[in-house]
Amino acid sequence: MESSEKRTSGIPQVTGLKFDYVVLNELLPVENDEIFKRILDITQLLNKYELMADKIFFDSAYNLTLFFDDVRVTLGSNSDIDHKIIRLKSILPELEGKKGTLRMENYTEDTKNITFHQE
């Protein structure tokens, strides 16, 4: 993981993590060290399913939101993240050119409907 003022093409920007200082070649001082494993898991899943997020955002409770152009995807906690990403791959093409929020935080394999709030 790298802290930078510049965006790197093809690399999602990770936001929402709070820390007071950065020391070169040392782990970022965050409250929950597991967040780095979670970021790695998420980026590997996105790569596996050929999804290119612009931004990965964590709120103060470490709930996950992904951004794809003008579409915000709320994924919530880490539960069922594999299934959420698999399902997201089939939904995103339908949302191309649209702006809004896809609510997937309560998604499970048994979920029939997923809500998209268009702006």
The CATH number of residue 101's host domain is 3.40.50.11690
Q: Is residue 6, in this structure, part of any structural domain at all?
A: no
Domain assignment present for residue 53? The answer is: yes
- Write the single-letter amino acid at 53: A
Q: Which residues are 55's β-sheet partners?
A: 13, 67
Q: What is the pLDDT of residues 47-91, one digit of tens each?
A: 999 999 999 998 888 899 999 999 999 999 888 899 999 999 999
Structure tokens at 57: 């955002």
Q: What is the pLDDT of residues 94-119, one digit of tens each?
A: 999 999 999 999 998 888 889 999 99
**What are the tens digits of pLDDT across the range 18-43?**
655 444 555 554 565 677 788 889 99
- What is the number of domains present in the chain? 1
The answer to whether 74 touches 101, Cβ cutoff 8 Å, is yes
Q: Is residue 33 part of a domain?
A: yes
55 located within any domain: yes
Structural domain boundaries enclosing 24: 13-118
